[in-house]
Structure 1
Amino acid sequence: MTTGAGALLRAAHAGPALAVTVLTLLLAVSAGLGPARTVLVTAAVLAGQLSVGWSNDLRDRSRDAAVGRSDKPLATGELTVGLVRWACVAAVVATVVLSLACGLVPGLVHLLCVASAWSYNLWLKATSASWLPYAVSFGGLPVFVHLAGGSTPPTEVVAGGALLGVGAHLLNAVPDLADDEATGVRGLPHRLGARRSTLLAVVLLVAATAALLVTGTVGLAGTTVGALVVAGLAGLALVGRGRAPFYSAVGIALTDVVLLVAR
């Protein structure tokens, strides 16, 4: 067993956690938050994402071991359950403190987003409503950021966030469908199947981008570049293997936030 930081980061789903944190940073910039406020909001989201990742691996450690997931430190014995539990508790405490430091209302909104993500880990992952926490958490993220800066987000931004979240959920689940079903997990992607999940995800991601482009003010050049980038990433999501479709979704999300910043 090891207590290495690298293993802890892997157990926290470092890639998705970093992606959401970067999205938050860009959202804060687009919302006009000052430097100190931007750091606070971003730190709150990072802490929340770490808690979500660690709770996910704690919850799934038996299932991961049953299907031989060598990329899961808890399943392979690289990390002890006790260590990850303590790390998760620390992340939860940090999330509460940092979120409420952003203000009572925005703090409660962010804590709702984190609680929604935890509900996926603890319960909804194996149900047909597995998409719902992603819609709530990703749709709520711009609400939190804007409220922390004293404003309210445009409706299309909230809707776009929700669409991006559901699309990312569908694409993230596709590589693990067989392993999940072997251990009793049957969320929406498992019920749809790999092909239909991928197609639906691409439709949702493109719809999110279209909403931002139609309501934005980035000009013809910005609209053209944004559309071409998203079209290319959507194509990769359709034909890519493994985690490539999921990271295509992340790329589309980052493109959408850049469009927000340029508005």
Structure 2
Amino acid sequence: MVVTALVTALAAAAGRSAAGCLLVAGAVLTGQLSVGWCNDRADLDRDVAAGRRDKPLAVGSLAPRTVTLAAGAALALCVPLSLAAGARAGAAHLLGVGAAWAYNLGLKRTPLSWLPYALGFALLPAFVTLGLPGRPWPPGWAVGAAALLGVGAHLTNVLPDIECDLAASVRGLPQRLGRGWSRALAAALLLGAAVLLALGPAGPPGRAGWAALAVTGPMAVLTVLPVAGHEGSRVPFLATLVMAATAAAMLLTRGAGLA
């Protein structure tokens, strides 16, 4: 829901019509649903072993076949909804969705676990702009910032579950790096995304840009520094979430400069 809302708002900021924004919302929502359901189906055995009570499949309230069919149906709907924005825009979005499926079905267990996030997020501004009149490619600062935001989100998302992942033989990049290095890398990437979004577009950053950098800098410090006496503290994790939310908000404020 967060990704769908973010991309739809980005489409509106970039000048897409109301109908165009609805198509974007439908394409992104069905794509995200397919990815989420595919992930839960692929992780069924792992979630059962981990005793996950928040997963309907793991507790047996849904049949695996139901989730498999739902993921397939959502993906089937995503294809025409994506292509309705144009062949190039649709191809960009479907490539990102395909990368997310590849992550679910195997890449999450490899050192390349970051790649689907980088590719998927980088292609979201392209999906928005390639559906505009003239089919313009988004500026490099937007693509780069979105890619950094995606990889930072990947590292942040994994932080609370690294030990459980390792026990289940999931050895993606953050699991191999460990909690400390993953926190540091997430902070660097999200700070880089904020800098690109503030300084990449033509003209001065403005108050919003400087304010975002003023928030992101201290959050980066909180992310990297250990909390004395509280090795399991959620402060670093929450700090990375604040950084990711700030970068996403900056991307929206820069939406008018995408085309």
Task: Report the TM-score, using the length of structure 2 for normalisation.
Answer: 0.88
Residue 212 (structure 2) aligns with? 226
Shift of 1:246: 5.8
| Structure 2 match to 1:140 | 123
Deviations 1:184-204 (A, max 9, x none): 100000110011101100100
State the Cα deviation string for residues 195-250 of structure 1 (Å, max 9, x = none). 11011001001101101111234643222222123335545655661863563354
Is 2:229 the counterpart of 1:244?
no
Residue 208 (1) aligns with residue 201 (2): no
| Residue 61 of structure 2 is aligned to residue 78 of structure 1 | yes
Paired letter, 1:258: L
- Whether 1:260 aligns to 2:254 is yes
Task: Please state whether the residue corresponding to 2:182 is helix, strand or coil.
Answer: helix
* 1:187 pairs with 2:176: no
Task: Report if aligned partners of 2:191, 2:243 keep a CA contact under 8 Å in 1.
Answer: no
What is the alpha-carbon distance in structure 1 between the residues aligned to residue 97 and residue 243 of structure 2? 20
Segment of structure 1 superposing worse, 234-243 or 185-194: 234-243
State the Cα distance separating 1:141 from its structure 2 match. 0.9
Q: Indicate how the Cα distance of structure 1 residues 256 and 223 shifts in structure 2: closer, same or farther if over 3 A, else same.
A: closer
Does the alignment pair 1:93 with 2:76?
yes
**Cross-structure match for 1:21:** 4
For 1:245 and 1:127, locate their aligned partners in 2 and report how far apart those are by CA, in whole Å: 26
Could you say what secondary structure the match of 2:113 adopts? coil
Change (3 A) 1:44 1:237: farther
More helix by share: 1
Which residue in the other structure is 1:198 paired with?
A: 183
**1:166 to 2:162 alignment:** no
Helix, strand or coil at the partner of 1:148: coil
Q: Which runs of 5+ in 2 are unaligned?
A: 228-232
* Superposition deviation, residue 37 in structure 1: 0.6
**Aligned positions of 1:100-111 closer than 5 A:** 100-111=83-94
- Report how far residue 129 of structure 1 moved: 0.5
Q: CA contact under 8 A between 1:138 and 1:162: conserved in structure 2? A: yes
Paired residues of 1:57 and 1:74 also in contact (CA < 8 A): yes
Determine helix, strand or coil for the equivalent of 1:76. coil
| RMSD of aligned Cα (Å) | 1.9
Correspondence 1:45-60 to 2 at 5 A: 45-60=28-43
Q: Give the alignment's TM-score, normalised by structure 1.
A: 0.87
Deviation at 1:24, TM superposition (A): 0.3
Q: Which runs of 5+ in 1 are unaligned?
A: 1-17
User: 8 Å contact 2:216–2:243 — kept in the other structure?
Assistant: no
Q: Distance in 1 between matches of 2:195 and 2:26?
A: 30
User: Contact 1:106–1:144 at 8 Å: present in 2 too?
Assistant: yes
Does the Cα contact within 8 Å between 1:236 and 1:244 map onto a contact in 2? no
- Partner of 2:58, secondary structure, is helix
Matched residue pairs, number?
246
- Retained in 2: the 8 A contact 1:230–1:252? yes
